[in-house]
Amino acid sequence: MFEGEEQQGKGNAMVVILIGPPGSGKSTFCEEVMRFSTRPWVRICQDNIANGKAGSKAQCIKSATAALNDGKSVFIDRCNLDREQRAEFVKLGSPKIDIHAVVLDLPARLCISRSVKRTGHEGNLQGGRAAAVVNKMLQNKEFPKLTEGFTRITFCQNETEVQDAINTYSALGPLESLSQGVFGQKKSDAKVQLGIMKFFKKSGTAESGNVGSVATSDQNSASLEKTEDKGSCSKAAVSFSDNAVTEINEHKDQMKGMVKDASASLGDAPTLAFPSISTSDFQFNHEKASDIIIEKVEEFLDKIGNARLVFVDLTHRSKILTLVKEKASKRNIDPNKFFTFVGDITQLYSQGGLRCNVIANAANWRLKPGGGGVNAAIFSAAGAALEVATKEQANTLLPGRALVVSLPSNSPLFGKEGVTHVIHVLGPNMNPQRPNCLKNDYATGCKILRDAYTSLFEGFVSIVRKLPPGSNDNLGSKQSEIQIRNETASKNSEQKFRRDDDDHESDRTKKYKGSHVETKISNSSVGKTIQSGEKFDRTATKAWGSWAQALYHIAKQPEKHKEVVLEMSDDIVVLNDLYPKARKHLLVLTRLEGLEQLADAREEHLPLLRKMHDVGLKWTETLLQEDTSLIFRIGYHSAPSMRQLHLHVISQDFNSKHLKKKQHWNSFTTAFFRDSVDVMEEVSSHGKAKLEDDEKLLSMELRCHRCRSAHPNIPRLKSHITNCNAPFPANLLQKGRLVSAPNNTIISP
């Protein structure tokens, strides 16, 4: 399902009316869903309805009716480009049959190209004739509206969104349904109409604009429910009774007053509005999710001072919202600091009068626009500025992590809604159609979801603590918000660093396939929740790129990587580095979950650090038996490029074609490289290791690691170190920081 949607278990049959010209992919859409779905589907196509030959609309309706009576759901595979064409199929709807539209609004040029090139089409629409037909059809295109009788409309403007829609319907089980409304519509003048709000616009009781997203405080949802006709509410095409109309009008002023009261009670205090994480697209159990939300809200309320947390969903019929509201009430959580709210999270102020300076996005792992629900809505409302600002910090996001993004002032979401920050957060996945599915492993899933809300709320706390004095009274002031944003951007820019390997750039986006493991560093892998005024803190959340997961996957299941692994036990794995920076370059990798980098190491990890060191020493002995001229150093990078703590065992010849940049050299020959003996001593004495400022170290001039002479470039440096026999610096000759064969005297002064 699209992110941000609510899955409901009422088990209605569906009629999905596909809308699009020839070549838009309607037949392919049906075939893909039917191939993977566990739900029984029937495809109705007028081109072959009469025993494989073209037939009539009446035959299509008859076949669709028969399939629905048999308990199956139906795809209507026709162009359906205007309201009249769709009308008869929409009438198939009932309280037990949902009517959906999937609009394949792909570029005309693409549709024409496909139609012209294809062969063997069921309706024989191909070749040169197809171009004229497609062009003519598109001139009369009429987008569907909920007022026609649809309960759900999904717009797809590109192939990625088409695939997301395919995944949404493929994932539906026989007893599942999708939330109502319009998803994916990007046109600025489009009117999204949901449920009861359809009537408000017609009767003049709602404000103008995107009335489908009008925010109404959840505190008045009970009043709304009293005024709705239960049957007609579920179908936008069914009119409200006269009695219901009268009651709604009577409650009009009451509703507006409640929204005003909710906004007044909130005031201008720093406020985070957040949706449910993982219960929609990622199909996480609602009961378990609501328990975790309440648990984490209680944990953080004391940490946010006078700030507020607001749980938001688009409809008061949302199951997760209802559960959270009930559980918050039972736990006596202060309603002035945490409450639920019904509305579009991108229009809480303009449509609901609720000012929230921070909103959370239920993001996808790519941190990209697309799909539907919350993620699509936030990226669309924020404009290109959010995507650019996000990309500056990270390209990917791991489950359980959050990424704080300061929203530029040129974003419409900043100017219109007063949103200064967006916090992207990714929870666990229980949907087999999505990456990293946990396959109902709720022990792991609950841990990840707790981590996700912890990261989200910690990100909000960091924003609250960096607000300047008096910001509560001036939160709406663009001047103070811009100041915060500029300070944050300035601080973050000082904290960025880059270490990469240009000759293997393309490998970063590929799945791990090689026989060894890469050790590279990229600024795209750094995504920390760092705000203005913070010092560089490597304990902050880090988003690892997909390419940086290789070590983690090997640590989890080394038996699946026997061609790579040199040694494995319950605690560690040993393997060669894929792009070694010396003649011999090994990695000793911990298998402990959650120990991802040196910044995570604490006193309780000391026995493991000692074991990793001992294993490293054992391998140096083995390698020294093969070549007694080698000299080794054993240690960690202050800020690693790959997930899962790993110890480098590297020979000091640095004779490798992969060592070709200043950052490569300095990552192993400056204080950025932390010797294992020092790390163990620091963790034992101080509870954690000292981490150096990597940006300055990695950009230092090139100096020989023996004689410390300076060199202008890597080729000149390599030429020098090949012949340099100077003793190593005195500090490396102490505490066993260098390891060599017993008879090797070259490391002595």
What is the structure's pLDDT at 42? 93
What is the structure's pLDDT at 706? 93
What is the structure's pLDDT at 263? 40
**Residue recorded with tokens 């640095």:** 654
What is the structure's pLDDT at 449? 94
What is the structure's pLDDT at 280? 80
List phi, psi (to 5°) of 176.
Answer: -115, 155
The predicted model gives 124-150 an average pLDDT of 74
What is the structure's pLDDT at 281? 77
CATH code of the domain occupying 13-183: 3.40.50.300
Q: What is the pTM of this model?
A: 0.37
Task: Tell how strand 572-576 and strand 585-590 pair up.
Answer: antiparallel
On the 0-12 / 13-18 / 19+ scale of CB atoms within 10 A, 272 is buried
Kindly give, in sequence order, each residue whose CB lies less than 8 Å from that of residue 196, ignoring residues fewer than 6 positions away.
224, 227, 228, 233, 248
What is the structure's pLDDT at 657? 92
Residue 257 has pLDDT above 80, yes or no: no
The predicted model gives 406-410 an average pLDDT of 88
Kindly give, in sequence order, each residue whose CB lies less than 8 Å from that of residue 325, ignoring residues fewer than 6 positions away.
218, 311, 340
pLDDT band at 652 (very low <50, low <70, confident <90, very high): very high
Residues in the chain: 749
> Which range (347-351, 497-501, 546-550) has the least confidence?
497-501
Distance, in Å, from the CA atom of 17 to the CA atom of 603, rounded to the nearest integer, reads: 61
What is the structure's pLDDT at 539? 39
Q: Which of 646, 658, 664, 705 is catalytic?
A: 646
Q: Where are the alpha helices (DSSP H) in 408-567?
A: 412-417, 442-466, 478-495, 550-556
> Which range (269-273, 418-422, 461-465, 637-641) has the least confidence?
461-465
What is the structure's pLDDT at 502? 40
pLDDT digits (tens, 9 = 90+) for 586-642: 999 999 988 999 998 999 899 999 999 999 999 999 999 999 999 999 999 998 988
Average pLDDT in the chain = 77
The predicted model gives 641-656 an average pLDDT of 94
What is the CATH architecture assignment of 548-740? 2-Layer Sandwich (3.30)
What is the structure's pLDDT at 170? 87
Where are the domain boundaries for CATH 3.40.50.300 in the chain?
A: 13-183
Long-range contacts of 627-631 (CB under 8 A, 24+ apart): 627/583, 627/584, 628/741, 628/743, 628/744, 629/741, 629/744, 630/583, 630/584, 630/740, 630/741, 631/728, 631/738, 631/739, 631/740, 631/744, 631/746, 631/747
What is the structure's pLDDT at 176? 81
User: Is 177 in contact with 93 (CB distance < 8 Å)?
Assistant: no
The predicted model gives 436-465 an average pLDDT of 90
pLDDT band at 130 (very low <50, low <70, confident <90, very high): low
pLDDT digits (tens, 9 = 90+) for 689-717: 988 766 788 888 999 999 999 999 999 99
More confident residue, 125 or 321: 321
The predicted model gives 109-126 an average pLDDT of 68
What is the CATH architecture assignment of 271-465? 3-Layer(aba) Sandwich (3.40)
Residue 564 has pLDDT above 60, yes or no: yes
What is the structure's pLDDT at 206? 35
Distance, in Å, from the CA atom of 567 to the CA atom of 398, rounded to the nearest integer, reads: 28
What is the structure's pLDDT at 159? 87
What is the structure's pLDDT at 121? 57
The predicted model gives 299-327 an average pLDDT of 88
> Which range (224-228, 440-444, 551-555) has the least confidence?
224-228
What is the structure's pLDDT at 614? 95
What is the structure's pLDDT at 488? 44
What is the structure's pLDDT at 610? 95
pLDDT band at 747 (very low <50, low <70, confident <90, very high): low
Catalytic status, residue 421: no
Residue 538 has pLDDT above 70, yes or no: no
pLDDT digits (tens, 9 = 90+) for 281-298: 788 999 999 999 999 999
pLDDT digits (tens, 9 = 90+) for 331-346: 889 888 999 998 889 9
What is the structure's pLDDT at 259? 41
Residue 188 has pLDDT above 50, yes or no: no
What is the structure's pLDDT at 69? 92
Nearest to 620 by CA among 643, 597, 589, 652: 652
List phi, psi (to 5°) of 128.
Answer: -60, -30
Where are the domain boundaries for CATH 3.30.428.10 in the chain?
A: 548-740
Residue 724 has pLDDT above 60, yes or no: yes
Where are the domain boundaries for CATH 3.40.220 in the chain?
A: 271-465
Q: Which string of DSSP letters, residue by residue, matches 558-592?
A: GGGGTTTEEEE-SSEEEEEBSS-SSSSEEEEEE--
